[in-house]
């Protein structure tokens, strides 16, 4: 077991706070959209949340593939960390989409192709996290999770192109399309600032979440070697004969 005596660095949290403050300020200062009005400000958090979810699941796929190739648990920990963050960003994108949809469409939710596929992706990656809890064997857990991590990423292009392939209530892509960017320059800059802030948040979260995954693995190995939980191992169980 490796023990670490240094305290966890705080720079990721500081970086995260600064980037969030800059992004929120930009989103509040930029002018409203001509059609959507002030509601367009919700898109500066909704769109980056969805993009970072895609990025996180893409990273999970890459890290999973690296684990299957190298069989090094460090890759598995990175895949796990990125998947958990991706689930949070997906939940955030869905929640923010609902908050935007209610005043815009008049409903919180509709079984539109984009929304339905995003919900399925959310539950599949929740399944990925649940799968990791089915065994304490680090290698078996990593192998199972890596296979699912590689396969599940197919949903990312499905979700992205769903608004192109099917007739949906959700609007088609505004930025990533062959005709180029169809957006006012000030709104585009604000969206990019927000995207940079969310990316910074993702990097900071990854740094800390990977550290947590490493500690959890060390704890699992320690518990296995002591044949029980580490905490309380020094406390002897009371017995009838006085514990002699």
- Residues interacting with other proteins, by CB under 8 A? 1, 3-8, 13, 16, 20, 24, 27, 32, 37-39, 41-42, 45-46, 49, 85, 88, 91-92, 95-96, 99-100, 102-103, 201, 205, 208-209, 211-212, 215-216, 218-219, 222, 229-231
To other proteins, the closest distance from the beta carbon of 235 in angstroms equals 14
Asked if 201 and 19 touch (Cβ cutoff 8 Å), the reply is yes
Cα separation, 240 vs 52, in Å, equals: 58
For other proteins, give the closer residue by CB, 63 or 96.
Answer: 96
For other proteins, give the closer residue by CB, 2 or 236.
Answer: 2
For other proteins, give the closer residue by CB, 92 or 150.
Answer: 92
To other proteins, the closest distance from the beta carbon of 172 in angstroms equals 22
For other proteins, give the closer residue by CB, 49 or 150.
Answer: 49
Q: Name, in order, each residue with C-beta under 8 angstroms of 172's C-beta and a sequence gap of 6 or more.
A: 163, 164
What tokens does 125 get? Answer: 């990656």
Asked if 224 and 136 touch (Cβ cutoff 8 Å), the reply is yes
To other proteins, the closest distance from the beta carbon of 41 in angstroms equals 5
Q: How many other C-beta atoms lie within 10 A of the C-beta of residue 17?
A: 12
To other proteins, the closest distance from the beta carbon of 131 in angstroms equals 19
Smallest CA-to-CA distance from 83 within 42, 117, 133 is with 133
CA 23 to chain centre: 19
């Amino acid at each position: 077991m490796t023990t670490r005596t240094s305290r966890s660095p705080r720079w990721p949290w500081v970086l995260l706070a600064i980037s969030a403050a800059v992004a929120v300020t930009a989103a509040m200062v930029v002018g409203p959209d001509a059609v959507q009005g002030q509601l367009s400000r919700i898109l500066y958090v909704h769109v980056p949340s969805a993009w970072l979810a895609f990025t996180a699941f893409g990273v999970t796929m890459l890290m999973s593939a690296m684990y299957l190739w190298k069989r090094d648990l460090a890759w598995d920990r990175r895949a796990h960390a990125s998947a958990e963050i991706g689930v949070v960003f997906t939940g955030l994108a869905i929640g923010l989409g609902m908050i935007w949809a209610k005043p815009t469409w008049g409903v919180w939710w509709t079984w539109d192709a984009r929304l339905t596929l995003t919900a399925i992706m959310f539950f599949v990656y929740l399944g990925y996290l649940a799968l990791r809890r089915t065994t304490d064997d680090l290698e078996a857990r990593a192998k199972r999770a890596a296979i699912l991590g590689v396969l599940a990423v197919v949903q990312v292009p499905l979700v992205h192109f769903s608004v192109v392939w099917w007739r949906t209530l959700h609007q088609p892509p505004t930025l990533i399309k062959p005709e180029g960017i169809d957006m006012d320059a000030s709104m585009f800059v604000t969206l990019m600032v927000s995207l940079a802030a969310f990316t910074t948040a993702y990097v900071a979260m990854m740094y800390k979440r990977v550290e947590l995954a490493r500690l959890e693995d060390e704890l699992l190995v320690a518990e296995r070697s002591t044949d029980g939980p580490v905490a309380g191992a020094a406390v002897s169980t009371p017995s009838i004969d006085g514990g002699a």
